[in-house]
Structure 1
């Protein structure tokens, strides 16, 4: 089948939950994807911040191949497996946390955190069940996670949603303080909002939220599903801010591209769950755990984070130059590390499509942001090429 026929077959059998770009990819190498007709695309989407090591990475391939060769893909969490123990030690050490629960996605990791927060609140008298999250946040598509998400567009047509969530304004400490009551058990925040438009928290905001949690005996939950695993220029964004959470959720790049999520807990939260409180059939499977071990190794034993920080500075400098050239169309640059965005006055989708036509994959965030989340191994010359394409695409839309 040619590409058009494959796309039609996909439309026939795949549930219509994505507005998919009309392309079918066959393979990738480094930071470049190739479609079934042989056309190459420079990838600044990275599977939406998943493929941190790009495509065909030797270290990751070797780690995953070893598990495939062992035959032990899955053995159930009724038993221990060696790779999961290694992964747990590696990720807890890297994140400076005490224990970890492994699952399969960011939504699952956040569901685990929400359940843990509610159980934490049930230990109080009276019981506390309310969780404060942020407007414009994004925490996943399952019922608890989508309710925690502070964006109405994700709630439409899915009523009734679970109760017990209140939404503060991001980077507005007074709005958080105003929502705390005797029923509050936790505050959940992304250190860098991703889907909400690539908006970093201020250090003062996170420090203030941490202080409120300490004063009111609340759990502080960080959702680092998108901004974790080196994306910010540190292994975890909380380390950039030096404001540590009680609970940390991860996914996306956690296993280098293999589906994997995790909820990590500090000393204060490590004993909230007991056997039977929560579970995940495929969580901690050996294949994903091998990816976690490799990612933890790359973040802790190489200069990857330093390079991300340096390349992020370069990327933002090139984006700032676009603002000067197109001040009407591009109004601001936001981001940290290799999680960056340009605020637009034109529809982001028009620019996404214009870049795609020229062989560059980018995506939007929020309502007005062009988002850049390339593999962390992106090269400087590839950044230059990408911005040249964005420049050309912007000119074509004038």
Structure 2
């Protein structure tokens, strides 16, 4: 059902007769058709969609229109939403999962004709079509980040990690929960708690790495030290490395509070600066997404160089469902969430692991577990919304709600996956000295 205030009920394309200026809702109808699955209203008084729709999108200002038309797709929508120019009514800003699901399943885009595009441009006017500064939460585009160094240089990687992780430890405590773990949990059932599933993930990694008391573990990209502390509690000597100063500070305090300082250390350091070698195991949980696909040979080569013969590596990271797509992230993810982040398929990762001489012994996909993990984080953000907004501001809190809800959908729909790859550094004669069959509890 199409409803316009002070506008004819004919289709928007037909409204071109006589050069009449189109309303915002008429422009939207050209792009998505009449069957909008949500209610839409705009600052010019026009509307589209059923008044009885569960969700209502309200475009509040010309600035929001500028964001939408100058960056079509997810980046423009994110800008309008984060800035407050596009209001979602019927969904909590900390958890817009349901409205994103409805739009993803039912919204279909049309390609306007050249004549329609010209009419849209005339109707909007130059002032609306002229690009403007994005919301302050947005990172610079890739081509302008050169001032921070070449892509995936130590300096630029440090800045990218700072953008995402040095938001506020207090904010992350509210969103992630007591585990302070910002990576996929391993669920044994859909009704398992987030905390139990995160503990289960650390247990799974620990057992896959065949660690025992007295062993030495290097955990690169260690975050707030969840894996570091899990292993240290079991008598393993651990070094963790993170490029986030706030993570390192939080982790060192947690280590001291648990009385683990004799076994565990988290360094504010690039993983490439870790000098020690001869580790029994190396874990990389959620780092590979940040290092760049073209750096995989040196990355896995570094890991191999840190292992003793017979040592094990576990790589846990987000992947694409195939090995064909461009590795670069989309506009919203790159500019608001993971600057310079890149994803590829598990096949490419396994190939690179093998090509440096490590032997892959096992791999598995935890895609559904990541969807459940993200749902848990969204619930936490929604439940602690007021405190999160007070800590980081509404715009930044909206970024995380939008990112996590959208990512949950992505994992549910197999747009992205989460793979764990286990490999061993063989001895000189090709010996692995491992059990013949998997030695861990799945």
Q: TM-score scaled to structure 2, two decimals?
A: 0.30
Q: TM-score scaled to structure 1, two decimals?
A: 0.33
Query: Radius of gyration: which is bigger?
Result: 2
Query: Higher RCO, 1 or 2 (CA under 8 Å, sep at least 6)?
Result: 1
